[in-house]
Amino acid sequence: MGQDVDADTIIANLKAIYDALYLAGIKVIACTIPPNDDHTTDQLKVNTEVNRSLRYYCQYNNIPLVDFNKYLADSSNNYSSSSFTVDGTHPSQEGASYMARAFIETMGNIVSANPQLNTTNADGDIVANGMFDGDDSGLATDWTCI
Which domains does the chain carry? 7-108 (3.40.50.1110), 119-146 (no CATH)
**Cβ–Cβ under 8 Å, residues 7 and 50:** yes
Q: Contact, 96 vs 102, CB < 8 A?
A: no
| CB-based contact 85:79 (threshold 8 Å) | yes
pLDDT, average across residues 116-143:
60
Q: Residues 6 or more apart from 2 whose CB is under 8 A from it? A: 36, 39, 43
pLDDT-based confidence at residue 109 (cuts at 50, 70, 90): confident
- Over residues 35-93, the pLDDT tens digits come to 888 888 898 899 999 999 999 999 999 999 999 988 888 877 677 788 888 888 888 99
> Is the separation of the CB atoms in 46 and 33 below 8 Å?
no
Q: What's the pTM?
A: 0.70
